[in-house]
Structure 1
Amino acid sequence: MLKWGLRILGVFVLLNVLGAIGAYVMIDRSVFEMFGGRTPVIALQPSDETPERYVLANVRVLEPGSEQFSEPMDVVIENGVIADMGLDLAARANAPAMDGEGRYLMPGLTDSHVHLWNSQNDLALYLAYGVTQIREMHGQSHHLEWRDQISEGELLGPDIFVVAAQIATYDFAEGLWQSLTSKRNVARTPEAADQLVRDLAADGYDAVKASSYLSLSGYEAVSAASEDTGIPLVGHVPVAARLDDLWASNQSEVAHVEELIKGLDRDFGGYGVSNAGEYLDYVMQHRDAVAQHMIDNEIVLASTLALVSSFAQQKTETEAALETAPVGLVNPGVAEGRAMGWLPDVNIYSVPQQYRNDGWRERYETYWTTYAEAQQLMFEAVLAAGVPMVAGTDANVPLMAPGYSLHQELEALVLAGMTPAQALESATATPGRFMDWNTGRVLPGFRANLVLLNANPLEDIRNTRSIAAVVSHGDILSREELDSLVDAVEAANDSARHTPLAPEWRQAETR
């Protein structure tokens, strides 16, 4: 009997182990698809047609730190770097020349807050929209591989600054689920948080990210380990922390303007429909002090204004919001999945049906309109104080399409109070300095990551969309080649859809 009992127990244990393995495989496959991993990958091979040395002739160059373009000049590019600039260089450079026909040459754009997930095709979209650098804010090991392959000229795409997936605190069961489904870095104790930072630094990540769900003791441990190892700490202000904890930390960047107003909301005690006006008054009273703390602690601020401005409509009128979004550009695994869903049945911001009871629309519109107004008040203060800001979109979060959304963000920044020159600075020189890259300026010695425009963006920020060509690592991508990249991505997306897109969701102009 004992023998049979042991056999039965062994079979029971084996079945449970096999069941657990099967469940893990099923979850992992589902997550891989929800983050875009099942969509066919287009050809992403860098071109070898651009000569190693050539001249961009007759181009107006965005002058560093100014609000004007130069008179037409020539720019010599050699081995992916700007080698020389000046008048009449084409005639004596002993190199082939491309006539820019008086167009506007500026640094390639940087989106400082993106999520590639498993969607490698997004790399093509960034270049197609003039984004030659991105900062990945939920980095995983395959992003490190893409970063290195791009750097080595083996893969077509923007340069990538890889911030490791956010560090969060959960109990054992929730932590296991989050690490499986959202790929977060889970640290249950301060000691684990400290070791995690050291491991991520050793793995080659460019920065570590604080989660909203990081405990206060974990946040303090991450901050100390960041300072000790030299790896930058960026991201959210944890819900368990106050703004005073941010000022005392080693955090060098805050990932959204909204993080500051959420911090003020915690200090205020929480706002709702009944006290929304009082909360806005509170923001008005404290915003200048917050901005000064940002200056004093040398903290850079990422924007994501366009995303937050979309919340109210996404919450209450998801289908109408989708009509102005370029849904066709977005990986269908992302758009249709429940992790970061865009479509009406899965949209992560849409108010669930069970909460749509009496007066629900007014409540949600009031709350989220107040949220956007508070963001605007804070933005005005940090702009006036001179807080360094980098343009970021939270790309792949609905309704921010990779590449395309940075132009929406630049327009949102100007609408909020920046000059076009300031908006361009936030997407060129400032992120170049923050990430310690030689990008963001059109000057000798800087990387030849450039955008050639048909119209002057200083006169109208919407002219950043008028892309004639993109230069990435010195390689020229013509307008025809950029359109081909977008066409290929849209075709790959269409081939992988489970849910056909409604015609009205294809109205956004993507060229």
Structure 2
Amino acid sequence: MKRCLFLIWIGFTGHVAFAQEPVSNADREIVFKSVNVIPMDKETVLQNQTVVVKGGKITALGNDASVKFGKEALVINAAGKYLAPGWSEMHAHVPTVDDLAPMKDVLMLYLANGITTIRGMLGNAKHLELREKVRNGEILGPNFYTTGPAFSGQSVKTAERGIEMVREEKQAGYDYLKLLPGLTKQTFPGIAETSAELGIPMVGHVSFNVGVWAAIDANQSSIDHLDGFVEAITPGIDTLVEQETGLFGAWIAYSADTTKIPKLIQALKAKNVRVVPTQAIAERWLSPLPADSYANDDDLKYMKPEEIKNWMNAKNSYYTNPKFNKERAEAFIAIRRKLILACQKGGVELLLGCDAPQVLNVPGFAIHHEMKYLTEAGLSPFETLKTGTVNVAKYLKKDNSGSIKKGNVSDLVLLAGNPLEDIGQTRNVEGVMIGSRWLSKEFLQKELAKLEKK
């Protein structure tokens, strides 16, 4: 169904208030007037710019006085606001059901938070349909990439089955192969070899019995969660079984040897393996803080009460585990922060992602937690923003995205404040441009109100 635009002129200010519906720039220019642009191709702010978009592309950018546009254009007075490239969530989850309705809801949570590209990390055949409907504009959502059903100890019992699954998912048209724990030294090599042969990248976890060194040697496209990193730098790891190490090495991180980090970073860089930290999972679920510290998070109103209960139970299970103690939990967070900063300094490209919906991480909203935690690990706000823009554009080989310049796609987020000065400003979304559609703050707030569960 086509969406119509109704304009209401207010007084003689020249400001336009529009109905709470997306506005298309397919045949009409949309103009951001007097806006501060964060181009992301370098660390700077271009002040008082006019940015013109039409047909899903940036058609003009320059000083207010120098840029011309048609009299039929929709002009958005963006004085004092900041325009940045939309962000990517490279470890997203979309419901693996046969109903598109809950998928649409999750896509809106991402869009409302300035996320214009997502990589779904646990897919099914319905996600291929969803991807097509997003691409042709039938469903409103971020640019969508998807893995297929996961490769795990449950789905891959033999080397032959692993190879067969790679071929099936390539033929089906999935973008990536999602690896989960449980693969072995017998099942992983065939998956890796067939992945390389068919050109469908492996992403996700590193199985304990495979190890990060084998994953790197196999050119795993992205390693998510820093999975296997703590184990790789912990002395005596070969004497331990997986159950003794904890999730992402939480129980053993206190004994990690930081002098081993450079070797790991060099190996990742040499093979051009990208890293999706999902630090928000560690800092929230596996933090030293008890569950009630998060009980009043405003983000939780978008989750069903039973899901919140499950999350709190998971948090409490971690906190009350006999192996838990506050000092070791702090050591786990600290070593992860060191690994993230070492990746940044060592030239290993980080990609933004936070594994929502997952314990205490709500889709879309969790990306702001993730960016905050990346800065707390030592990245500058600019470096943090690059993980969700420039780095992702390079990873996806999309030369016309990830930065703001003439000819690039118009995947943009308008912010109330400058995130280069305060990364927390990423939360203050004034509107989102996804391709050819402008989503005003009023529209986004209306849609979010529909999604509140309590």
TM range (shorter): 0.7 to 0.9
Is residue 321 of structure 1 aligned with residue 294 of structure 2? yes
Q: Which residue of 2 aligns with 1:451?
A: 413
Q: Do the aligned residues in 2 keep the contact of 1:109 with 1:428 (CA within 8 Å)?
A: yes
Q: Structure 1 331/259 Cα, relative in aligned 2: closer, same or farther at 3 Å?
A: farther
Q: Which residue of 2 aligns with 1:169?
A: 153
Secondary structure of the residue aligned to 2:121 is strand
- The one-letter code matched in structure 2 to 1:323 is N
- The one-letter code matched in structure 2 to 1:456 is N
Q: Do the aligned residues in 2 keep the contact of 1:168 with 1:211 (CA within 8 Å)?
A: yes
Q: Which residue of 2 aligns with 1:105?
A: 83
Secondary structure of the residue aligned to 1:396 is coil
Greater mean deviation of Cα atoms: 385-394 or 66-75: 66-75
Once the two structures are TM-superposed, the CA of residue 142 in structure 1 deviates from its matched residue by 1.6
Task: Return the alpha-carbon distance in structure 2 between the equivalents of residues 82 and 296 of structure 1.
Answer: 35
- The one-letter code matched in structure 1 to 2:183 is L
Number of residue pairs aligned between Structure 1 and Structure 2: 419
Is residue 124 of structure 1 aligned with residue 108 of structure 2? yes
Structure 2 residue runs without a partner (length 5+)? 1-19
Secondary structure of the residue aligned to 2:413 is strand
Once the two structures are TM-superposed, the CA of residue 390 in structure 1 deviates from its matched residue by 0.8
Q: Which residue of 1 aligns with 2:119?
A: 135
Q: Which residue of 1 aligns with 2:41?
A: 65
Q: Which residue of 2 aligns with 1:392?
A: 353
Q: Do the aligned residues in 2 keep the contact of 1:283 with 1:377 (CA within 8 Å)?
A: no
Secondary structure of the residue aligned to 2:58 is strand
Q: Which residue of 2 aligns with 1:420?
A: 381
Q: Which residue of 2 aligns with 1:82?
A: 58
Q: Do the aligned residues in 1 keep the contact of 2:107 with 2:141 (CA within 8 Å)?
A: yes
Within 5 A, what are the aligned runs for 1:333-348?
334-335=307-308, 341-342=310-311, 344=312, 347-348=313-314
Which whole-Å deviations, capped at 9, do the CAs of 1:45-71 have from their partners, x for residues lacking one?
983555633122222211333221112
Once the two structures are TM-superposed, the CA of residue 90 in structure 1 deviates from its matched residue by 4.9
Q: Structure 1 46/245 Cα, relative in aligned 2: closer, same or farther at 3 Å?
A: farther
Task: Return the alpha-carbon distance in structure 2 between the equivalents of residues 378 and 49 of structure 1.
Answer: 43
Q: Structure 1 86/334 Cα, relative in aligned 2: closer, same or farther at 3 Å?
A: same
Q: Which residue of 2 aligns with 1:508?
A: none
Q: Do the aligned residues in 1 keep the contact of 2:175 with 2:200 (CA within 8 Å)?
A: yes
Task: Return the alpha-carbon distance in structure 2 between the equivalents of residues 272 and 101 of structure 1.
Answer: 52
Structure 1 residue runs without a partner (length 5+)? 1-44, 171-185, 495-511
Q: Which residue of 2 aligns with 1:227?
A: 196
Secondary structure of the residue aligned to 1:486 is helix
Task: Return the alpha-carbon distance in structure 2 between the equivalents of residues 50 and 445 of structure 1.
Answer: 15
Once the two structures are TM-superposed, the CA of residue 487 in structure 1 deviates from its matched residue by 0.2
Q: Which residue of 1 aligns with 2:15?
A: none
- The one-letter code matched in structure 2 to 1:80 is G
Which whole-Å deviations, capped at 9, do the CAs of 1:221-244 have from their partners, x for residues lacking one?
111011000011111111111232
- If each structure's helix is expressed as a fraction of its own residues, which one has the higher value? 1
- TM-score when normalising by structure 1: 0.76
Within 5 A, what are the aligned runs for 1:414-493?
414-437=375-398, 438-490=400-452, 493=453
Is residue 236 of structure 1 aligned with residue 202 of structure 2? no
Question: Considering only aligned residues, what root-mean-square deviation do their CA atoms show, in Å?
Answer: 2.7
Within 5 A, what are the aligned runs for 1:6-21?
none
Once the two structures are TM-superposed, the CA of residue 433 in structure 1 deviates from its matched residue by 1.8
Q: Residue 22 of structure 2 is aligned with which of 47, 56, 61?
A: 47
Secondary structure of the residue aligned to 1:451 is strand
Task: Return the alpha-carbon distance in structure 2 between the equivalents of residues 352 and 110 of structure 1.
Answer: 29
Secondary structure of the residue aligned to 1:468 is strand
Q: Do the aligned residues in 2 keep the contact of 1:470 with 1:476 (CA within 8 Å)?
A: yes
Within 5 A, what are the aligned runs for 1:364-375?
364-375=325-336
Q: Do the aligned residues in 2 keep the contact of 1:147 with 1:161 (CA within 8 Å)?
A: yes
Task: Return the alpha-carbon distance in structure 1 between the equivalents of residues 112 and 252 of structure 2.
Answer: 45
Q: Structure 1 381/352 Cα, relative in aligned 2: closer, same or farther at 3 Å?
A: closer
Q: Which residue of 2 aligns with 1:350?
A: 316
Q: Structure 1 84/348 Cα, relative in aligned 2: closer, same or farther at 3 Å?
A: same
- The one-letter code matched in structure 2 to 1:310 is R
Q: Residue 379 of structure 1 is aligned with which of 333, 337, 340?
A: 340
Task: Return the alpha-carbon distance in structure 2 between the equivalents of residues 49 and 282 of structure 1.
Answer: 53
Q: Do the aligned residues in 1 keep the contact of 2:251 with 2:324 (CA within 8 Å)?
A: no
Task: Return the alpha-carbon distance in structure 2 between the equivalents of residues 105 and 264 of structure 1.
Answer: 41
Which whole-Å deviations, capped at 9, do the CAs of 1:277-328 have from their partners, x for residues lacking one?
99646431211110111100100000111210123458x7223332336211
Task: Return the alpha-carbon distance in structure 2 between the equivalents of residues 465 and 295 of structure 1.
Answer: 32
Q: Do the aligned residues in 2 keep the contact of 1:169 with 1:214 (CA within 8 Å)?
A: yes
Q: Residue 324 of structure 2 is aligned with which of 363, 372, 389?
A: 363
Q: Do the aligned residues in 1 keep the contact of 2:245 with 2:252 (CA within 8 Å)?
A: no
Q: Which residue of 2 aligns with 1:38?
A: none
Secondary structure of the residue aligned to 1:71 is strand
- The one-letter code matched in structure 1 to 2:292 is E
Q: Structure 1 471/59 Cα, relative in aligned 2: closer, same or farther at 3 Å?
A: same
Q: Do the aligned residues in 2 keep the contact of 1:258 with 1:375 (CA within 8 Å)?
A: no
Secondary structure of the residue aligned to 1:64 is coil
Q: Structure 1 212/234 Cα, relative in aligned 2: closer, same or farther at 3 Å?
A: same
Q: Which residue of 1 aligns with 2:272?
A: 298
Task: Return the alpha-carbon distance in structure 2 between the equivalents of residues 59 and 477 of structure 1.
Answer: 17
Task: Return the alpha-carbon distance in structure 1 between the equivalents of residues 158 and 434 of structure 2.
Answer: 43
- The one-letter code matched in structure 2 to 1:57 is K
Structure showing greater radius of gyration is: 1
Q: Do the aligned residues in 1 keep the contact of 2:414 with 2:429 (CA within 8 Å)?
A: yes
Within 5 A, what are the aligned runs for 1:276-315?
280=254, 282-313=256-287
Within 5 A, what are the aligned runs for 1:187-226?
187-226=156-195
Task: Return the alpha-carbon distance in structure 2 between the equivalents of residues 62 and 382 of structure 1.
Answer: 24
Task: Return the alpha-carbon distance in structure 2 between the equivalents of residues 81 and 317 of structure 1.
Answer: 47
